[in-house]
Structure 1
Amino acid sequence: MEGENMIRVMNEEDLPVVKHIIQSIPYFWHECWDDGTLNKALKSSGSLSFVYEEDGCILGCIFAYDFGFRGYIAKIAVYESARFKGIGKKLIKHVEDILRSNNCELIIADALESAVPFYKKLGWEEPNAILLRKKLL
């Protein structure tokens, strides 16, 4: 149907476009990742990874996880040409609604520093915690 916008569960056939979207954002794609990495991320998220489509074209994606006591957003990406149209906000709200219905108390996002204003505009705040990391590859 022309003019149709929708959020739907991501599937393996979406991964080439999802990869392209993620690679289009500076510092978002890691050199040690490959197609298998995205496939593993999709499978481990259960049914909490989504794409946003407009007229049959994928314009954005989100990888989210439900750990019971806490939800997690590992990646959200929208094509630069499709930004500022509410796509990211719709993807975040969609995941928040699902996690809330699962009685998940808290959601955390792994975000680039440049995305902090976007999250704050949606009511997110910086936690009283420090994010630590250890590179394995």
Structure 2
Amino acid sequence: MIDRVVRVETDQQLADALAVRHEVFVEGQDVPEDLEYDDRDESADTIHFVAYDAEGEAVGAARLVPYDDPHTGKVQRVAVRESVRGEGWGRRLMDAVEAAARAAGYDRLVLDAQTHAVGFYERLDYAITSDEVFMDAGIPHLSMRKDL
């Protein structure tokens, strides 16, 4: 096998993506399960992604949902297992999300970044759009945007 990021197409791939999110957000950051999982996870217009290492282990996840207009997508739930952080998985996930967004006809992407991750997104050409830090699930965030 090779390292890869795939668009979720099977129940097993979705289960793998949700398992990564559970480890990163629920276990790692104490995000309540009822805030981590929502009806968007089962929505037909949500695109999920899962990253697999060379051994076939799920190591990352993300999702893309429609936003407030037909030209904007929202990136959510970007998660990389702690054991593989710094290996480029976040960038590979975001590359896959952006490619899918372009293919879906989106002109821009928005996201709410945990403040510790803002630098990562800035390196991917996202710009801060919120005036102040806000709390989401007890974690400080800033809103960001990128034109595709």
Q: What's 1:126 paired with?
A: 128
Deviation sequence 1:38-89 (CA, Å, 0-9, x none): 5x33222635111100121011100211342211012101011111111011
Q: Matches of 2:4 and 2:128 in 1, distance apart?
A: 30
Separation in structure 2 between the aligned mates of residue 134 and residue 121 of structure 1, nearest angstrom: 23
Residue identity matched to 2:4:
M
Q: What letter is aligned with 1:96? A: E
Contact 2:73–2:108 (8 Å) recurs in 1: yes
Q: Which runs of 5+ in 2 are unaligned?
A: 138-148
SS at match of 2:29: coil
| Equivalent residue number for residue 7 of structure 1 | 5
Contact 1:45–1:65 (8 Å) recurs in 2: no
Report the counterpart of residue 60 of structure 1 in structure 2: 60
Do the aligned residues in 1 keep the contact of 2:49 with 2:61 (CA within 8 Å)?
A: yes
1:43-54 equivalent positions in 2, closer than 5 A: 43-44=42-43, 46=45, 48-54=47-53
Task: Flag as ranges the 4+ runs of structure 1 deviating above 4 A.
Answer: 128-135
TM-score normalized with structure 2 length: 0.72
Of 99, 104, 107, which aligns to 1:105? 107
3-state SS, counterpart of residue 79 of structure 2: strand
8 Å CA contact retained: 1:61, 1:78: yes
Letter in 2 for 1:41: R
Counting aligned pairs with the same residue, the percent is 22
Question: 57, 71, 74: which one pairs with 2:73?
Answer: 71
Normalised by the length of structure 1, the TM-score is 0.77
**CA-atom RMSD in angstroms:** 2.8
For residue 26 of structure 2, the aligned residue among 23, 26, 46 is 23
